[in-house]
Amino acid sequence: MAVQITKKQKRLLDYVITFIDEHGYSPSYREIQRGMGYSSVATVAKHLDNLEMAGLISRKDNKSRSIEVVGRTRDPLRTRRPANQAEEKWLVQEVERQFELYEEGGNEAQLDELFVLVGALKILGLAGPFTIFAERLRQVQATDN
């Protein structure tokens, strides 16, 4: 028996699959919110809850970027090594963590560190995360000025 999901849930599932294919790791809730044009992270969480109940995705509790599409294996033609994926995922999570710390009342030294980390994404060729975080950095700068 096929599981019925809404059009919005299907769009979100497609977004997650595409994001994972492009980046090698799952999107954060905030990235889904921005990418899908949702007004809140709660909307993302509700749709993900429904997709998980339908058995289409799985998530690890309290883990960032832990969305996995059930029954889907990685494309064997991708050339990245697993160690690189783990390192890239760590770097993206560290950038996210540093943004959160800065947005909670960071200082100029933390902002400088964010510039370095975002620059590292570009140097390592992680175009997707670089684009997302560079835009977020521009927004932070605009609000600080």
**pTM surpassing 0.75?**
no
Tell whether the model's pLDDT for residue 145 goes beyond 70: no
Q: What are phi and psi of 69, to 5 degrees?
A: -85, 120
Residues 25 and 50 in one domain: yes
Supply the DSSP string of 10-25, one letter for each residue: HHHHHHHHHHHHHHSS
pLDDT for position 40: 92
Q: pLDDT digits over 57-79, tens only?
A: 998 876 778 898 888 765 544 44
Rg (CA), the chain: 16
| Residue 106 confidence (pLDDT) | 80
Residue 100 belongs to domain spanning: 82-144
Residue 43 has what pLDDT?
92
For residues 93 and 116, state if they share a domain.
yes
Question: Does 75 map to a domain?
Answer: no
pLDDT, tens only, 84-121? 777 788 888 899 989 888 888 888 888 888 999 998 88
Q: Do the domain assignments include residue 1?
A: no
Residues 42 and 89 in one domain: no
Task: Indicate if the pLDDT at residue 12 is higher than 90.
Answer: yes
Residues 64 and 92 occupy one common structural domain: no
- Asked, for residue 17, whether it belongs to a domain, the answer is yes
Residue 94 lies in a domain: yes
Query: How many domains would you assign to the chain?
Result: 2
Q: Which residues of 81-101 are buried (b: 16+ CB within 10 A; e: fewer)?
A: eeeeeeebbebbeebbebbee
Residue 13 CB coordination number (10 Å):
19
The reply to whether 33 falls in a domain is yes
Out of 69, 91, 108, a domain closes at 69
Domain boundary among 69, 101, 121: 69
Q: Report which DSSP code applies to 124.
A: T
Q: According to the 3-state scheme, what is the secondary structure of 28-70?
A: CHHHHHHHHCCCCHHHHHHHHHHHHHCCCEECCCCCCCCCEEC
Residue 124 is predicted with a pLDDT of 79
Using one digit for the tens of pLDDT, what is the confidence trace for 26-65? Answer: 899 999 999 999 999 999 999 999 999 888 899 887 677 8
Residue 51 to residue 3: CA distance in whole angstroms: 10
What value does the mean pLDDT of the chain take?
83
Residues 55 and 92 placed together within one structural domain of the fold: no
- CATH number for 25: 1.10.10.10
Residue pair 19/83 in contact (Cβ under 8 Å)? The answer is no
- Per-residue confidence (pLDDT) for residue 70, from 0 to 100: 87
